[in-house]
Amino acid sequence: MPTSVDDLTNSGCGFNIATSEFGHLYYTELGNKGYYDTSGNYQPGWGLVNDGPFQHLQSTSYWSGTEASGIPNYAWYFDTYFGFQYVDGEDVGHEASPLLPGMAVRSGQVSEAAPVPEPSTLLLLSVGFLGLARWRLHKRGR
């Protein structure tokens, strides 16, 4: 699960927090906007507008893998609807959804590699036709 900065001050919770993994993905990589800008003003075009290559990224809250230090049974979440990061009780859930989704992540930067080569369609068709021709010749020989 993505990690968060375990800090209840302005550097760890609120809008426009790009220091957590989910915040970085939401703001920096995908280019989304929070409900409020860095000055605390409403900004049009906020929310999960760009989901990039993610097919099932929802406009909801996601738990992070970081528990809130000093607050038992609380963990960090990131709300992709408003672009907001905060802590909530692990056993309570979020008012919008009692069962919050998680997102599996892997360490490091994953670069786009060259596509995995697939067998040539022409080669597969040729082998198929040769197989059918051989089967037909075998059948005539009986």
Question: Can you tell me whether residue 121 is helix, strand or coil?
Answer: helix
pLDDT, average across residues 76-85: 89
Whole-Å CA distances, 14 to 37, 45, 76, 99, 129? 11, 18, 11, 22, 63
pLDDT, position 49: 93
pLDDT single digits (tens) 91-127: 654 454 456 677 766 666 655 555 555 666 667 777 8
pLDDT at 42: 94
pTM for the model stands at 0.65
* pLDDT range class, residue 38, cuts 50, 70, 90: confident
The pLDDT value recorded for residue 46 is 94
C-alpha to C-alpha distance for 28 and 32, rounded to whole angstroms: 8
Please, which contacts does 33-36 make with residues 24 or more away whose CB atoms are closer than 8 Å?
33/83, 34/82, 34/83, 34/84, 35/82, 35/83, 35/84
Strands 61-67 and 14-15 turn out to be unpaired
pLDDT higher at 65 or 28: 28
* pLDDT of 45 over the 90 cut: yes
* d(C-alpha 2, C-alpha 67), whole Å: 11
pLDDT at 63: 81
1 and 103 in contact (C-beta within 8 Å)?
Answer: yes
For the cut 70, the answer to whether the pLDDT of residue 9 exceeds it is: no
For the ranges 37-46, 47-56, 59-68, the one whose mean pLDDT is highest: 37-46
Asked whether the beta carbons of 59 and 26 are under 8 A apart, the reply is no
Question: What is the side-by-side strand order in the sheet with 74-79?
Answer: 14-15, 84-89, 74-79, 61-67
Say if residue 32's pLDDT is above 50. Answer: yes
